[in-house]
Amino acid sequence: MTIKILAVDMDGTFLNSKKQYNKARFLKQYEQLKQNNIHFVVASGNQLAKLITYFPEISHEIAFIAENGAHVVDAEQELAFAHLSQHQFIEILKAINPSYTSTMVICGKQSAYVHSSMNTEDYAKVARYFEKLTVIDDFYALNDLVCKITFTAQENESFAIFQDFQKQSFVEDKVLVPVSSGFGFIDLILPDQHKAHGLKLLLQKWQVEPNQVVAIGDNNNDIQMIKAVGYGFAVENAVEALKAVASYATVSNEHEGALEVIDLVLQRQPPFA
């Protein structure tokens, strides 16, 4: 089977714990991917502005599935930006426990936004993941299109917060869906606007079949994408839920697992032989 698309998650998959990757090795691989007419796709919970910073040499010609699938761009052309209506956003703000205000990140099209009550430790953590980050005093006064709401939490708090959201009417009514993206973050995303949906838009544009796609991930927010493709890989450090649905495995993000898979594709080694 001829591979036409190679899609990678970033944090915990393509990036190591220092949020870096072997750029020299990858850029050589990327040139070969292009020569073989294989599209390289970045699929991440991160905002587009942050993802672009990782690929300054090629960001103008590759595809991004950002914000867990809500924002899809190919070669700087926007294909989709799914967002809440203003009414939905206000009603959700009213429903969320005010004690979460200082831990919230409102993900908008122009920027991400945190409340001025966020402590310095949480702000430093959030700033690692958001290239565009604005501090505001009132979420109700926000003038932007909101595609996702993220919460930063201590690992021992994540489950309780997740359970709390499950009881919210906006989750029961499927206005937003909670998903863990790892690293102490819980995302409230638009239903069916996950990474697999973003990938589907690219498949339609490029006229590619799912069995011609390789995807690599590590966390719960990669599950739909891994299940939707012909060759779904879990890195060694992936959560068990992802390993359970991935047909294939590679070494950890610390050992360049994603780049190892790219080599298998380029060299037509099993399972691509």
The span from the CA of 10 to the CA of 12, in Å, is 6
Q: Can you give the C-alpha Rg of the chain in angstroms?
A: 18
Residue 50 structure tokens: 């942050």
Residue 134 structure tokens: 């604005």
Q: Exactly one of 9, 74, 122, 187 is catalytic; which is it? A: 9
CA 114 to chain centre: 19
Question: Where does 137-269 have alpha helices with state H?
Answer: 155-166, 169-172, 195-206, 223-228, 240-245, 257-266
Burial of 136 (0-12, 13-18, 19+ CB in 10 A): middle
The span from the CA of 72 to the CA of 175, in Å, is 20
Residue 9 falls in the annotated catalytic set:
yes
Neighbours of 179 (CB within 10 A): 21
Spatial CB neighbours of 139, under 8 Å, sequence gap ≥ 6: 93, 101, 104, 106, 113, 115
Backbone angles phi, psi at 124, to 5 degrees: -60, -40
The span from the CA of 12 to the CA of 113, in Å, is 24
| Positions marked catalytic | 9
